Structure 1
């Protein structure tokens, strides 16, 4: 599977239903004991939505998108419930040398979950906090939007980083088959009532 570095039409995905799903097993005993096993620390996001009746011209963008990804290639998707990076909900973690990974943080009292972001949108800005002062250092960094990595020069001990901008989810259609419905009429309206996609990490 290859990856198509383009965004699924966001005006269609605005009607999405879905979110993260952890891979886990659980079992219980008669006495009420509960046993769990989390098999992956990161969930995969799943979404379903529909393309409502549109004219042939409006429908062409969706049909063309399905054709060019051949029903199986990965692509970018805007999760309208979670697509913003802010100074409060993001950070960078060191991979090696001068290369850092973009993360989205989820914070609740006593716990913080870290989600690597592999598909930041163009225009993301990087901020450094040093000795209590926060500065935009985007101009002196190299941000790779295909894997979410940032190269930073001049890091000093105690420096922390955060970001501002948007990110996308790498996904693919769960089925290589589309199901278009032609409703007819003078406008020849066409719809696709059951679109299902799932996050993929093949291109992370």
Structure 2
């Protein structure tokens, strides 16, 4: 991914952020009262507001430094969504190469499900199993691709922690210094990057 810094947004601030998955759906109501719904995105895209996680002057300084280092919207980075950052027993997705598999997470409810491609697994968190036994693999922490030395004989599964690739959704950081230890910021939005 071009324009991506492989650094994670500060965890202490991320824990206080609000946000989650977002879809894009057009709803058109016709004269009879019925409606037509057009789904624009096949997969969710996460959106977060980190301003709610800033509690101290030091944290505000950390956000300003992080924002400047990413040059606003110019560079993406890792963000830990503390409401959804772990996966257990998830089936890996096959690729054209029988030695290379993709990490993913399934969200199922009733007859429907969404397969989320995981591209930013946490370093040292990926445990891959074939037939219930752990196997040695190489994990690319920038793509979520898992490489086996020999093709697995059965469906591989993995446990892992992961981050969300995001970017700031603004090039301006509107901070008001109310007092020495009190800053106000209305909103600092982050949006998930599609990889």
Using the size of structure 1 for normalisation, the TM-score is: 0.84
Q: For 1:194, what is the secondary structure of its paired residue? A: coil
Aligned residue runs from structure 1 range 43-82, under 5 A:
43-50=44-51, 51-55=53-57, 57-72=58-73, 73-82=75-84
Q: Report how many residues are paired.
A: 191
Residue 143 (str. 1) matches residue 139 (str. 2): yes
Q: For 1:30, what is the secondary structure of its paired residue? A: coil
Match of 1:166 among 161, 170, 182: 161
| Kept in 2: contact 1:52–1:192 (CA 8 A) | no
More strand by share: 1
Q: Distance in 2 between matches of 1:59 and 1:39?
A: 36
Q: Distance in 1 between matches of 2:55 and 2:163?
A: 26
Please list every run of 5 or more consecutive structure 2 residues that lacks an aligned counterpart in the other structure.
none
Deviations 1:124-180 (A, max 9, x none): 2233232xxx0111xx211001011111233344x1222222111111111111112
Q: Distance in 2 between matches of 1:36 and 1:59?
A: 41
Q: Distance in 1 between matches of 2:152 and 2:170?
A: 48
Match of 1:175 among 170, 173, 186: 170
Structure 1 vs Structure 2 CA RMSD: 1.9
Summarize the Cα distance change of 1:142–1:189 in structure 2 as closer, same or farther, 3 Å threshold.
same
| Kept in 2: contact 1:71–1:173 (CA 8 A) | yes
Summarize the Cα distance change of 1:155–1:53 in structure 2 as closer, same or farther, 3 Å threshold.
closer
Q: Distance in 1 between matches of 2:33 and 2:178?
A: 53
Aligned residue runs from structure 1 range 190-201, under 5 A:
190-201=183-194
User: Residue 105 of structure 1: CA displacement?
Assistant: 0.6
- Structure-2 residue corresponding to 1:15: 16
Aligned residue runs from structure 1 range 5-154, under 5 A:
5-50=6-51, 51-55=53-57, 57-72=58-73, 73-87=75-89, 90-97=90-97, 98-130=99-131, 134-137=132-135, 140-154=136-150
Please list every run of 5 or more consecutive structure 1 residues that lacks an aligned counterpart in the other structure.
none
User: Residue 60 of structure 1: CA displacement?
Assistant: 2.7
